Amino acid sequence: MKSTSVKKLLLILSFLALGACANLKSVSVTRVPQDRSNPISSEAWGWGFLGIYFDNDFANEAVKKLDSQCENGRISGVMTKYTSKFYFLWTTRTINASGYCLAGNSK
């Protein structure tokens, strides 16, 4: 009888540890250009423990990755998505950015 209770408790804890909830926090889009021949994209993520986030530097990483793909042009039509996934004890936050690299010298 006692081993059955332990098994049930382990099963419940397994579901809590593996279960997750995801939500979309925000989406933003800038003006989409007519020339969409050179798409670019980047992704960066950060994590938190027990709802405590240690920094937001991962957002800058997404911008740098996108910018590095269009060094001699300008970026337009940028769409960013900010999502969170909640697990049992931790949270991951992800930023996906995509856009189009246009020829030209000005950023």
Segment-wise mean pLDDT, segments of 10 residues, the chain, 107 residues: 72 63 73 91 92 85 93 91 85 92 70
Q: Is 79 exposed, middle or buried (0-12, 13-18, 19+ CB in 10 A)?
A: middle
pLDDT of residue 41: 96
- Evaluate whether residue 12 is within a structural domain: no
pLDDT of residue 107: 45
pLDDT of residue 54: 83
- Evaluate whether residue 62 is within a structural domain: yes
- Evaluate whether residue 13 is within a structural domain: no
Residue 42 structural domain: 20-103
- Evaluate whether residue 24 is within a structural domain: yes
The total number of structural domains that make up the chain: 1
- Evaluate whether residue 15 is within a structural domain: no
**Distance between CA 34 and CA 72 in Å, rounded?**
19
- Evaluate whether residue 61 is within a structural domain: yes
